[in-house]
């Protein structure tokens, strides 16, 4: 049976990738300190956070480009120019969806601009996995120091 801690990590990571301000990294570190499997924890944190980011992307994708001009007061010419600029670079931009505060906005914006879902998903997965790997490395390093 899958332990409750793993479910908590997965859902916390999912929520942390939405507009809910939450630190899934702290839960990951806590699980590592408590002796949970590091590889399983890394996979669950990454997949949960990735699915949460894709949810934000999809919510943006459901939106309409005209909302950008209406609510953000950005004219269509600037939007078209920006969309042309980022086309083909979606995966590199999506790498930064893990960033606090701006990452969620970035995911929604990429969806709102109707960028390539495959490229965004790939970039987002890579960025989130790298973030958790680095975090786990530093957690293990600190655990060895203490």
- The pTM of the full predicted model, rounded to 2 decimals, is 0.88
Residue 65 is part of which domain span?
4-145
Tokens representing 107?
A: 């995911």
Q: Are 40 and 3 in contact (CB under 8 A)?
A: no
Number of domains in the chain: 1
Alpha-carbon distance of 16 to 146, in angstroms, equals 28
**Whole-angstrom distance, CA of residue 33 vs CA of residue 26:** 11
Structure tokens given for 60? 């943006």
3 state SS of 81: helix
**Rounded CA gap, 45 and 7, in Å?**
10
> HSE of 70 in the Cβ direction (CA atoms, 13 Å)?
5
Q: How far apart are CA 120 and CA 7, in angstroms?
A: 25
pLDDT at 6: 95
Q: Mean pLDDT, 10 residues at a time, over the chain (146 residues)? A: 86 89 91 95 97 94 78 74 84 92 88 92 97 96 92
Q: Write down the pLDDT at residue 2.
A: 67
For residue 22, what are its two tokens? 């939450």
Buried b (16+ CB within 10 A) or exposed e, 49-76: bbbbbbbbbeebbebeeeebeeeeeeee
């Amino acid at each position: 049976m899958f332990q409750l801690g793993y479910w908590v990590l997965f859902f916390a990571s999912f929520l942390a990738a939405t507009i809910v301000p939450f630190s899934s990294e702290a839960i990951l570190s806590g699980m590592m300190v408590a002796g949970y499997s590091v590889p399983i924890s890394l996979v669950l944190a990454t997949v949960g956070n990735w699915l949460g980011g894709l949810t934000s992307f999809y919510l943006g994708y459901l939106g309409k480009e005209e909302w950008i001009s209406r609510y953000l007061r950005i004219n269509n010419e600037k939007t078209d120019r920006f969309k042309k600029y980022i086309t083909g670079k979606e995966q590199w931009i999506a790498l930064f969806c893990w960033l606090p505060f701006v990452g969620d906005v970035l995911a929604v914006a990429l969806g709102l601009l109707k960028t390539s879902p495959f490229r965004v998903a790939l970039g987002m997965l890579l960025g989130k996995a790298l973030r958790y790997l680095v975090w786990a490395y530093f957690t293990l390093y600190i655990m060895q120091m203490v």
